[in-house]
Chain A
Amino acid sequence: MDWVIFDYVLIWAVVIAIGIAMYVILDGFDLGIGILFPFAKQEAWRDDMMASIAPVWDGNETWLVLGGASLFGAFPIVYATVLPALYLPLMLFLLALVFRGIAFEFRHRSQTSTWAWNASFAAGSTIAAFAQGVVLGNFILGLPIEDGHYVGSTFSWLTPFSVFTGFALVCGYGLLGATWLIRKTEGDVQAWAFRVATRLAIALLAAIVAVSLWTPFVEPEIAERWFSFPKIIFLAPVPLVTAAVGLMLLLALKHRNEDRPFTLSISLFLLSYLGLGISLWPYIVPRSITIWEAAAPEKTHTFLLVGVLIFLPLVIGYTLYAYRVFRGKVSGDGYH
């Protein structure tokens, strides 16, 4: 019954890939708001920025916990090798999320200490995004793992490439945050968001080009995946579509379209994510563990899959409902 196990592993890889994509997009624009926070010109703008995500940020962040728990359950080997390997950046990330998350409640309650919670929110969001980018960079280039154990040193994760991907993700999340603001705000804040989004879009596109050129150069397996014949024919559309979406985004921003920049920015993220998946397939811990080697026993996969099939549609249903309740432009009403 080998084919049955094969199926479950593949399904789980897809489920986790979707969970991570959901997290990156949903918490991405939340973190982006925090990244843009210090640059807002007035306190009233910051009030609007935070109000635009206050009702939904907690649900958005929950996708991260789903990703973590699913990895723990479905691919425990990955959970047990990648997390200790990236100990310090992950701890930095988790502590940054503490500062980011707590600012939602405390800033709203503060009278004289608003500046402190502004700083907590901005620094927490920016550091969390940067640390995620560092983790991403390490993931792309592979981790020093032998026999299922991390063999690198405490600071192996700190490389020029991972610092670069860290900054790139800060720009990317900033773009998601700015385009979300374009949707959710009006007037001065929106005009500012258009300007910021344009600059960040250019920065992100440049970063995507840089990573696309950098990785095949450093990792021959990635070069083989993209540039060998006949694969190049099937895969060429991915960078071409990405370029087209980037152009459409810049045009939409130029024409002050209120809705499309956000969906186009999300598309840009999804296309980069797809490209990443193509580069890394079939590894779940790049260059050392494939998804099949890492899979939990079938009994664990089926049990968890039943829960996913029943509850994930429900989750998506009431998440959509919650977004519907808070649709439209943000208007300073209704906090607590």
Chain B
Amino acid sequence: MDLDPVILSRLQFAFTIGFHILFPSLTIGLAVFLTYVEARWLATGDTVWRDLYRFWVKIFALAFGMGVVTGIPMSFQFGTNWSEFSLNAGNVIGPLLGYEVLTAFFLEASFLGIMLFGWNRVGPRLHFVATLAVAVGTTLSAFWILSANSWMQTPQGYLINSDGVLEVESWWAVIFNPSFPYRLAHMLTATWLTTSFVIIAVSAWQVLKGRYRETALRALRTGVAAAAILAPLQAFIGDQHGLNTLKHQPIKVAAMEGNWEAGPSKPLLLFAWPDEAAEENHFEIGIPHGASLILTHSFDGEIPGLKDVGPEDRPPVALVFFSFRVMVGLGLLMIAAAWIAFAYRKSLASRPTLLRGLTFMGPAGFIATIAGWTVTEVGRQPWIVHGLLRVDESISPGVASESVMMSLMLFAIVYSLIFAAFLYFVARLVNAGPEPDADPPKADIPAMDAVQRA
């Protein structure tokens, strides 16, 4: 059997991190949502907010558990599978992960216990502090991990010592490297938007089935209002992030645009079939001057081409090209869905077609997030640290391909099992709705009355 250890190590890392990112995408956003909901409950005493908290915190707990167990292997895989990378870049990346543990992981892990089990042991205000601490922890975790990732995309503040190992010259320059602010904003907004559509989809389904109308409608409206702002905001941040990439990683942008020859007045390709061997596209459908207009804000602006570098320095074009279109397509769909829902926000309960459509939008944010990560990570190839370290020189030389193959298969089996269980338990929670054993409701408020009240 001819197994390429580089491909296997890449597959394992891509699979484990792609799987992992699904859960932080939800928990970072849900932690903010839960903080908001609990704050509203404390401020108003309105039990609908409390019921919403108690319902969503269960889904949060499941997703958080998935995030924790799939996150632990990540912190060891740099060493087990990417030991040459760890040797050469550990001085820079290691401390960033150390700060993530010290400032974020302990905070969220310690206060999560109080958030989930502390209802009868601490007062409502302290409980709110625990929720807030978990939200701060999850966000700080994003800060550090995106700083590390961004440094691998746009490294600065380093020097190369006599052994060829990277050392830090300025920590400030390392942490706040050129792509970091854009990537952090883009990812945090992605988590909030993903979460908004999960809340929208779950609540729309519950309203559609005529269940838990008051809490479901409250959550639905909150989610729609958030998405109506976040979806277009994300498009703007994404555009800014793209301009930053154009400046620092032009070849990645050339792959995103499927552009082979550098030059002015480039079209925006809606579809194409990139052919790496022939160094050209087939079946191009494009909007003339589109790419130039978007990337340079001018009709005849210069766009970099893949042929600016040799084939050995180019990323896999088709994967980056199509992932980018999936991400942007879903982004536009989310803007449309959020705005339509917002326009009808007062009459959502009586629009089953719209509610059904919103239910189907539930996975949109996750798929767009995975597609976006594929664009930025595959687009960085063949580099592991852009311009400094190559991926194929960064794996662990002492680990047999068969070992990586075995661990990859085990990860695939184990993660599939727990993912199935996760979906099953979430579906059951969604079906069961806010817990019936909570304090009895004050009065049986008719649904339409609740609609007008809220």
A-B contact pairs, 16 of them (CB 8 A): A55-B118, A61-B72, A66-B106, A72-B94, A72-B97, A83-B83, A90-B76, A95-B410, A98-B418, A104-B65, A105-B62, A151-B398, A296-B91, A297-B168, A299-B91, A334-B121
B101, B113, B411, B429: which contacts A326 (Cβ < 8 A)? B113
User: A154: CB under 8 A from chain B?
Assistant: yes
Question: Which residues of the partner chain B approach A74 to less than 8 Å between Cβ atoms?
Answer: 94, 98
CA distance A334 to B428 in the complex (A): 21
Query: How distant is A321 from chain B, measured CB to nearest CB, in Å?
Result: 8
With A61-B72, A65-B72, A76-B86 known to touch, is A106 a contact of B421 (CB < 8 Å)? yes
- Contact B116–A66 (Cβ < 8 Å): no
Report A55-89 CB contacts with B as 1/0, cut-off 8 Å: 11011011011101111111011011111110110
| A58 and B97 within 8 A (CB) | no
Give the dominant DSSP class at B's interface: helix
CB of A232 closer than 8 Å to a CB of B: no
A322 vs B133: C-alpha distance when bound (angstroms): 13
Interface pair A87/B80, CB less than 8 Å apart: yes
Given known pairs A322-B111, A325-B122, the reply for A66 and B78 (CB within 8 Å) is no
Decide yes or no whether B344 CB sits under 8 A from chain A: no
| Set of chain A residues within 8 Å of B71, measured between Cβ atoms | 65
CA distance A83 to B109 in the complex (A): 25
Please tell me which stretch of A199-207, A234-242, A266-274, A310-318 contacts chain B, meaning at least 4 of its Cβ atoms lie within 8 angstroms of it.
A310-318
> Quick one: given A83-B80, A98-B418, are A55 and B113 in contact (CB under 8 Å)?
yes
Q: How far, in whole Å, are A70 and B79 apart by their CA atoms in the complex?
A: 12
- Given A98-B70, A109-B62, A326-B117, A80 and B87 contact (CB-CB distance below 8 Å): yes
Binds B, one of A40-48, A253-261, A301-309: A301-309
Residues of B within 8 A of A73 (CB): 90-91, 93-98
Interface residues of A in 184-213 (CB under 8 A from B): none
* Contact of B94 (CB < 8 Å), options: A56, A58, A69, A334: A69
Knowing A59-B110, A318-B107, A326-B117, the reply to whether A82 touches B421 (Cβ < 8 A) is no
Q: Write out the residue numbers on chain A whose beta carbons fall within 8 Å of the beta carbon of B100.
A: 69
Interface size on A, residues (CB 8 A): 69
Closest B residue to A79 by CB, please name it: B79
Closest to B428 in A: A109
Interface of chain B residues 332 through 373 with chain A (CB within 8 A): none
Check A102 for interface membership: any CB of B closer than 8 A.
yes
B298 in the interface (beta carbon within 8 A): no
The answer to whether A334 and B118 have CB atoms under 8 Å apart is yes
| A69 lies within 8 A of B62 (CB) | no
A159 at the interface (CB under 8 A from B): no
Count how many chain B residues have C-beta atoms less than 8 Å from C-beta atoms of the other chain: 76
Interface pair A300/B122, CB less than 8 Å apart: no
B105 at the interface (CB under 8 A from A): yes
In chain B between 110 and 135, which residues have their CB closer than 8 angstroms to a CB of chain A?
110-114, 116-122
* B residues adjacent to A (C-beta < 8 A): 57-58, 61-62, 65-66, 68-73, 75-76, 78-81, 83-84, 86-87, 90-103, 105-107, 109-114, 116-122, 161, 167-169, 171, 396-400, 402-403, 406-407, 410-411, 414-415, 418, 421-422, 425, 428-429
User: Shortest Cβ distance from A144 into chain B, in angstroms?
Assistant: 10
Contact check, B95 vs A304: say whether CB atoms are below 8 A apart: yes
Bound form: Cα–Cα A326–B111 in Å: 12
Q: Tell me if A303 and B168 are in contact (CB < 8 A).
A: yes
Among A61, A81, A98, A318, max chain B CB count under 10 A is at A98
Q: Known pairs A59-B106, A76-B91, A336-B116. 7 more at Cβ < 8 A?
A: A62-B105, A69-B97, A72-B97, A94-B73, A101-B72, A303-B95, A336-B61
CB of A148 closer than 8 Å to a CB of B: yes
Residues in A neighbouring B61, C-beta threshold 8 A? 105, 336
- Is A49 close to B, CB under 8 A? no
Question: Cβ of A13: which chain B residues have Cβ within 8 Å of it?
Answer: none
Q: Is A229 an interface residue (CB 8 A)?
A: no
B68 touches A101 (CB 8 A): yes
Q: Is A99 an interface residue (CB 8 A)?
A: yes
A58-B112, A59-B109, A104-B65 known; A334 vs B120 contact (CB < 8 Å):
yes
Determine whether the beta carbon of B171 is less than 8 Å from that of A303.
yes
Q: Of the candidates A91, A299, A308, which one forms a contact with B167 in the assembled complex, judged by CB atoms under 8 Å apart?
A: A299
Knowing A102-B66, A106-B425 are in contact, say whether A334-B98 is a contact too (CB < 8 A): no
Chain B neighbourhood of A71, CB < 8 A = 79, 94
A54 within 8 Å of B by Cβ? yes
Given contacts A307-B103, A308-B102, whether A87 and B118 have CB atoms under 8 Å apart is no
Task: Please state if B102 and A334 are interface contacts (CB–CB under 8 Å).
Answer: no
Q: Which residues of A contact B96 (CB under 8 A)?
A: 73
Q: Are B75 and A81 in contact, CB atoms less than 8 angstroms apart? A: no
B90→A76 contact, CB < 8 A: yes
A80-B90, A325-B114 given; A58·B98 CB < 8 A: no
List residues of chain A with CB within 8 A of the CB of B414: 95, 98-99
Which A residues touch B400, using CB under 8 A? Answer: 154
A299 to B118, CA, bound (A): 41
Assembly CA distance A150 to B397 (angstroms) = 8
Most-contacted residue by chain B among A84, A88, A97, A152 (CB, 10 A): A84
The smallest beta-carbon distance between B47 and chain A, in angstroms, is 18
Distance in angstroms between the alpha carbons of A254 and B93 in the assembled complex: 51
State A297–B83 Cα separation when bound (angstroms): 18
Question: Are A91's CB and B407's CB within 8 A?
Answer: yes
Cβ of A3 under 8 Å from chain B? no
> What is the minimal beta-carbon distance from B61 to any residue of chain A, in angstroms?
6
A263 CB within 8 Å of chain B: no
